[in-house]
Structure 1
Amino acid sequence: MNDDKLTQDQAQEKEAEAAAAEQQEQQETAGQEQQEPAAEIDWQQEAERWKAQAEENQNRMLRALADMENLRRRTRKEQEDLAKYASLKIIAELLPVLDNFERALAADKDSMTVESLLEGVNMVYRQMVQIFEREGLTPIQAAGQPFDPNVHQAVMQAEDPAYESGVVVEELQKGYLFKDRVIRPAMVKVNA
């Protein structure tokens, strides 16, 4: 009888364990069923959030591209204006020289002497030289200097014992530097 009781007890325990296991499995299955819709909602929300972020990024990119295009247009316009009006400052500075020439031409021809004409021309020349110097124009030193092909253009040769070989004997036309750039080399006669 003890054996029967043990077997009945064991059978009841096994049934209880099986029932508990089944109940636990049902709870887990129910929990998964409840979690799955929540997981779907999270993925949908996540997808919508990423879609909104993508749209925002695309809008930012389009605005940045539009800004770049506007900057390109504005820069091009500024460069065109700069090139168009680059000589404005020098022209404005040369206007007083033009005024002096007009005054000289309007002067009474009968009372004008050669000396007064020469004085007027000299005054206008000095005025122009001052303007050019302020802008950075300087004459190239030539006579008595060693020949430099970077700033001198040899057009004649001389044989003068007073000068060493390769020295500029005479300047035939002035050359000029604008700041650090040669805009016209000096035309010179060089000793052989």
Structure 2
Amino acid sequence: MMTDTQSTPPAEDLREETAAEAPEVAEHDRTAELENQLAEAKQQTLYAQAEIQNVRRRAEKDVADARAYAATNFARDVLSVNDNLERALSSIPAELREDERVKGLIAGIEATGRELVNVFQRNGLTRIEAMGQPLDPNRHQAMIEVPSDAEPGTIVQEMQSGWMIRDRLLRPSLVGVAKKPA
């Protein structure tokens, strides 16, 4: 049979065992907490890197757009010069075009118009096709409806040419659209 002294450890021995286990538990909790903080810091770093990359991409896109579309206001202003040149050429009567005294002048004005169109093309400006096309509200602005045998909604008159600068609308075409005759 066991004696009392053998069956229960003295209180002093219990205190020593508990004191020895307490630092191990505290150290384990502290390690887990530090691992959680490290994982959270890694996650925040990844988010920050992703945000920096997004900002860099946006800045690069903004710079590319600025380069591509920097001349937009200038191009819009020069289009009025092109319009006036086209109106001047279209207003010359056929009999005057045959007159030897003004043939050179007319040829020079036409050459100037062709060069202006070439400059537009080199800088990404393209004329919008309108005549005979269905009305596209993204490219054309209907000004009037014209009774016509053409399919309703088809452009039958162009009052002012429309232009694109690369993939953006610079100026819509001002057009007349066919409607069924009354």
TM-score by length of 1: 0.52
The counterpart of 1:48, out of the listed 27, 35, 52, is: 27
Kept in 2: contact 1:147–1:167 (CA 8 A): yes
Q: Which amino acid aligns with 2:25?
A: E
Q: After superposition, what is the alpha-carbon deviation per residue over 1:23-42, rounded to whole angstroms, capped at 9, x for unaligned?
A: xx422213886455224312
CA spacing shift, 1:34–1:178, aligned 2, 3 Å:
farther
Residue 98 of structure 1 is matched in structure 2 by none
Residue 111 of structure 2 is matched in structure 1 by 119
Greater shift, 78-87 or 178-187, is seen at 178-187
Residue 101 of structure 1 is matched in structure 2 by none
Kept in 2: contact 1:138–1:178 (CA 8 A): no
Larger Cα-atom Rg: 1
SS in 1 for 2:2: helix
Counterparts in 2 of 1:93-132, with a 5 A limit? 114=105, 115=107, 118-119=110-111, 121-132=113-124
Residue 37 of structure 2 is matched in structure 1 by 58
Q: After superposition, what is the alpha-carbon deviation per residue over 1:82-106, rounded to whole angstroms, capped at 9, x for unaligned?
A: 42552225669xxxxxxxxxxxxxx
SS in 1 for 2:8: helix
Structure 2 residue runs without a partner (length 5+):
72-103
Residue 146 of structure 2 is matched in structure 1 by 158
* Cα drift, residue 188 of structure 1: 0.7
Q: Which amino acid aligns with 1:53?
A: A
CA spacing shift, 1:163–1:180, aligned 2, 3 Å:
same
Q: After superposition, what is the alpha-carbon deviation per residue over 1:78-128, rounded to whole angstroms, capped at 9, x for unaligned?
A: 534542552225669xxxxxxxxxxxxxxxxxxxx7546753552342243
Q: Which amino acid aligns with 2:24?
A: Q
Kept in 1: contact 2:160–2:173 (CA 8 A): yes
SS in 1 for 2:135: coil
* Cα drift, residue 163 of structure 1: 3.2
CA spacing shift, 1:37–1:168, aligned 2, 3 Å:
same
Q: Which has the higher helix share?
A: 1
Residue 88 of structure 2 is matched in structure 1 by none
> Once superposed, which parts of structure 1, at least 4 consecutive aligned residues long, lie more than 6 Å away?
178-181
SS in 2 for 1:143: coil
RMSD of equivalent CA atoms: 4.0
Q: Distance in 1 between matches of 2:62 and 2:139?
A: 27
Q: After superposition, what is the alpha-carbon deviation per residue over 1:21-70, rounded to whole angstroms, capped at 9, x for unaligned?
A: 32xx4222138864552243123212123113313432553464356446
Greater shift, 145-154 or 166-175, is seen at 145-154
Kept in 2: contact 1:158–1:189 (CA 8 A): yes
Quick one: percent identity of the two aligned structures?
21
Kept in 1: contact 2:69–2:165 (CA 8 A): no
The counterpart of 2:134, out of the listed 139, 142, 146, is: 146
Kept in 2: contact 1:138–1:179 (CA 8 A): no
Residue 161 of structure 2 is aligned to residue 174 of structure 1? yes
How many residues get paired?
146
Structure 1 residue runs without a partner (length 5+):
1-19, 93-112
Counterparts in 2 of 1:16-31, with a 5 A limit? 20-22=1-3, 25-30=4-9
